[in-house]
Structure 1
């Protein structure tokens, strides 16, 4: 039996928004996805950032390694991982305009909130 229900539904999306996920800057940012939200056979890690002074969630070694490079750059002022591309309607319009199918949740048919691995602010 599975430990958690990981299916993302419209209700869960609303819950994430109310929790403040994908919102904030610097130490107040909450990632849209956390390690426990995503099933994985790979390695996921957490680490504290110098730039942001908060815990970061990495879904792969590549994300983590890129973060380390950014974290030690004097030009970077904020690093946000698992940043949601919202509103959902905009990513659906973009997908339609470029002629690709927007990702959907297999069991519910609802659209997936897409994320970018890392969003960087520089001065």
Structure 2
């Protein structure tokens, strides 16, 4: 976590989360238990094997939550590989141009109905305080 490349990647993730108003810093209400979080790191490589960039994602440790208390249902949209292969085969057969997209921030497009309280990782400074 002291490597400048990873520090830059973590800062970019925190900045993106703050920019999208993913959270609001607030004192923990009585009777509420915060869930933890952790960093997930990945190095993206160019075709020639050189490093393109360092990526980090801050993920909540959702496995600590209890159904009915912290959440009511879960849903993660995932494309099946057979669907991806079918689309690629169709695009190839019809000479369609394909583009790849790398989503920078995974929290951008979901809304939660439940209140979730998460501890920020130690050492992180946010623009909202702490």
Q: Shared fold (TM-score greater than 0.5)? A: no
TM-score when normalising by structure 1: 0.26
Q: Which has the higher helix share?
A: 1
TM-score when normalising by structure 2: 0.25
Larger Rg belongs to: 2
Q: Which has the higher strand share?
A: 1
